[in-house]
Amino acid sequence: MNDAARPDLAHAEDLMSFLAASPSPYHAVANAAARLEKAGFQQLAETDAWDSGTGGRYVLRGGALIAWYVPEGATAATPFRITGAHTDSPNLRVKPNPDTGSQGWRQVAVEIYGGTLLNTWLDRDLGLSGRLSLKDGTTRLVKVDRALLRVPQLAVHLDRQANEGLKLDRQRHMTPIWGLGDVHEGDLIRFLGEEADIPAGEIIGWDLMAHSVEAPSFLGRDREFIAGPRMDNLLSVHSGTTALTTIAEGPDEPPYIPVLAAFDHEENGSQSDTGAQGPLLGSVLERSVFARGGSLEDRARAYAGTVCFSSDTGHAVHPNYAERHEPGHHPLPNGGPILKVNVNQRYSTDGRGRALFAAACERAGVPWQNFVSNNDVPCGTTIGPITAARHGITTVDIGVAILSMHSARELCGVNDPALLTGCLSAFMGS
């Protein structure tokens, strides 16, 4: 296939750059914010009074970001068009007392975050990233993007049953090594302080996690796939950011107020001040209404006309495990975004939502696919039902079909990120 004939290739490469630069939720929102700033968006502090001006605005809180664009002519009751996503991914996170070791090895104590596929973290070169909290109340990002840690697997000679069914103890078997010698309290934080050019005594707290240092890459005979980390769900964050900046920089003003809501902590239930179950989105939307002179009545009217596309990855049919999928619904990579349905409200899509999604894809000239789980293999959930129930707004669950979800390295079709961005651009901008 001729790369020159593939307009999606630049988008795919931009996604891979975003994935590589965003090993933690804090890096992800910082990188998204930099893109928004380039498109003319201005950061607002939650502690400041907000003005009624038009244009792009965004709020950062920890690993979450809410961004919106107020077009010319918007009123206090103008509805929102929201793309919802999340910034976190399953991984290994550093414990409060990180320095540990055994048998002459120096190790780092970690806690399992989210529904991690543990075996994918074995024998993989890992870096460390996240944020450091300082005495003066500020935070600093840190990223050690080189082979620093490794979770070594037991040799098959010492476990002859390993290929009959690997069992990993989360406490004993998932502790990475990073050196030899005696364990000294404070070593890891001193090291990270040196990496970030911060005196160790200034570091009071940390939110740190391991990440694979292997770069995202094209895969396949014709490079029809992308392999890389954290597609669940930075792929949607990237698409939402790209769609929002495209709308803001476009020649036409949208009829709605487009919003990107990128939450943290989806992988462990969204129950935090930066998660979808927290008040952040509702607070930002309300303040946006009130800043334009609106009342509670205007807020109710705006919410009544608001729609959210909850964008998260879903399962492409696996060629080696086709029986785990619903027989009549086999999404494939490069088939376009998927509409996710579950009548038990693990996804929030209903018939009206299907119509809204189909219309957005039609306006964008984008193909799409249906996704529903096998009745014997219950599906997970997303921020969609939480958003619908908490804010009382119409919500539709969509996404991109991938393989190896929750692995340290996932796979999607090379065309699908651009197709999702096209759908979101049409949804939020027209």
Q: What was the pLDDT predicted at 5?
A: 42
Neighbours of 19 (CB within 10 A): 23
Would you list the DSSP string of 302-370?
HHHT-EEEEE--EEPPPTT-GGGB-TT----TTS--EEE--TTTTS---HHHHHHHHHHHHHHT---EE
Alpha helix ranges (H) inside 23-126: 25-38
Amino acid at 309: F
Q: What was the pLDDT predicted at 4?
A: 41
Q: What was the pLDDT predicted at 114?
A: 97
Q: What was the pLDDT predicted at 378?
A: 86
Using omega within 30 degrees of 0 as the cis cutoff, is the peptide bond preceding 2 cis? no
pLDDT tens string 196-222:
999 989 999 999 999 999 999 999 999
Query: Rounded to an integer, what distance in angstroms lies between the CA atom of residue 177 and that of residue 174?
Result: 10
Contact 393, 307 (CB under 8 A): yes
pTM of the model: 0.96
| Residue that is written with structure tokens 């009751």 in the block | 77
Contact 196, 144 (CB under 8 A): no
Q: What was the pLDDT predicted at 51?
A: 92
Query: Rounded to an integer, what distance in angstroms lies between the CA atom of residue 13 and that of residue 216?
Result: 9
Q: What was the pLDDT predicted at 200?
A: 81
CA 19 to chain centre: 10
Query: Rounded to an integer, what distance in angstroms lies between the CA atom of residue 410 and that of residue 353?
Result: 28
Residues of the chain with pLDDT below 50 are: 1-5
pLDDT tens string 40-81:
999 999 999 999 989 999 999 999 999 999 999 999 999 999
